[in-house]
Structure 1
Amino acid sequence: MPSTPSMPSTPSTPSTPLRRRAAAGTTGALALTALLVVGPAPTASAADPDTHLTSIAAVKDVDYATWRRDVAAVVAEARPYVEERSEDAGREKQAIVLDIDNSSLETDFHPFWELPTPAIPEVRDLVDDAHARGVDVFFVTARPGILHSLTDWNLKQAGYPVDGLYVRSLPDLFAEVGAYKTAKRAEIEAKGYTIIANIGNNTTDIVGGHAERAFKLPDYGGKLS
């Protein structure tokens, strides 16, 4: 069984990238909350059908095709391990833990007013295959609790199996994101699960252990939330 990768210790004071990620997550949460209040904006016109051109990622000069190619490379690395490890999933309670924004859903590449936000196809296929083998699927996100129902709905509409969804409660909003996510993985383990893979696009998604293997998707130096 592969050993747990060593991870750097969590700093007591969040660094600038961590603060920027928290701010980006809060901005996204506020945008989604506004959607619930004021309703959706008009969809893209026929003259501008490619919504990726109007996305947050495009504003930050992150190319969609390049991102998809880079994500696919990480998934290709993870797939043989997940397939082998989950071959006898019935003998133990196995789980995969995923971050959501730009790790499971194409959040920054899709206008926030157009719901549901689509799945990242390569990640969804990996998860679906593991779930079919008996692996449970948990999502641990920095989104606030007010978005729990909307997030659960979006994940299921995008085709993901959802065996558990963790969002930040009010006290969690004041905690360092990496420490919060580590604690939630520990909670999953306390339920008797072995977390065979932890997938996220930011260091805060995967630090702290409590997973046999961690796979980091691209965030291009913090450009993606």
Structure 2
Amino acid sequence: MTATIRARRAAVTTAVTTLALGATLASAPAQAAATSSSENTARTSGTAGLKGVDYDTWQRDVKAVIDEARPYVTERTRDPRGRKQAVVLDIDNSSLETDFHWTTFPTPAIRSVLELVRYAHERGAAVFFVTARPGILESVTAYNLRAVGYPVSGVYVRHFPDLFQGVSTYKTAKRAEIEAKGYTIIANIGNNTTDLVGGHAERTFKLPDYDGKLS
């Protein structure tokens, strides 16, 4: 991981933490209104992310991957093979539009990802989120996901001693934990190779990260 990416992630985490600590002062209707306004602005103004990635291009590229995933999810959930099924997702720029709304709380969902996840859940799949965010953000992260419409079966964040593991090692271990609970992970979705390597998923779907700009 480059120093630039580490610095950017630290900035995003700091911003999310600050917003999260202040979130209890805002009402849910006010938060929803702010989110809707932010989404509309981004979708009509060609907003760029923290590293200059074009929002509309990113949305199209994400949707192309999700369009590939949907027929597979449809077919796989039609045949559960007698086991509980699950979908596992990364969060930042994989489930939430973090780099495009890093000062907004709740951070908006990526619409095409949200639609696929809700579809899978309606067809019986549990939905787990495995993120490299630190444990201090667990409650606000779960709140954010639910507030923007995600079904949440579980959220995994990095507590001690996970903070000292490599991200891919940590995420692989958490998927193994989900499997140990009796789930078959039919799809693992993320925008970084560290979200996807290590096995413990039947299929992986990589969203765009533009050489680490949206990690």
Q: TM-score scaled by structure 1?
A: 0.82
Matched, 1:136 2:126: yes
The one-character-per-residue Cα deviations of 1:114-137 (angstroms, maximum 9, x if unpaired) are: 211111111111111110010000
The 5-angstrom pairing of residues 46-125 of structure 1 reads 50=41, 57-89=48-80, 91-112=82-103, 114-125=104-115
In structure 1, the residue matched to 2:199 is: 209
Partner-residue secondary structure (3-state), 1:58 = coil
Aligned-pair Cα RMSD in Å: 2.4
- The correspondence for 2:10, drawn from 4, 8, 26, is 26
The one-character-per-residue Cα deviations of 1:134-159 (angstroms, maximum 9, x if unpaired) are: 00000000000000000000000110
In 2, the alpha carbon distance for the partners of 1:38 and 1:136 equals 30
Name structure 1 gaps, 5 residues minimum: 1-14
The 5-angstrom pairing of residues 104-183 of structure 1 reads 104-112=95-103, 114-183=104-173
Whether the aligned pair in 2 keeps the contact of 1:90 and 1:134 (CA below 8 Å) is no
Name structure 2 gaps, 5 residues minimum: 26-33
In 2, the alpha carbon distance for the partners of 1:36 and 1:151 equals 8
Q: 1:134 to 1:59 in 2, by over 3 A?
A: closer
Q: 1:98 to 1:175 in 2, by over 3 A?
A: same
Q: 1:91 to 1:38 in 2, by over 3 A?
A: closer
The one-character-per-residue Cα deviations of 1:32-77 (angstroms, maximum 9, x if unpaired) are: 222245679xx8xx9xx8357797x534220000000000000011
Higher RCO (CA < 8 A, seq sep 6+): 1
Partner-residue secondary structure (3-state), 2:60 = helix
In 1, the alpha carbon distance for the partners of 2:18 and 2:46 equals 18
In 2, the alpha carbon distance for the partners of 1:155 and 1:188 equals 19
How many pairs align? 202
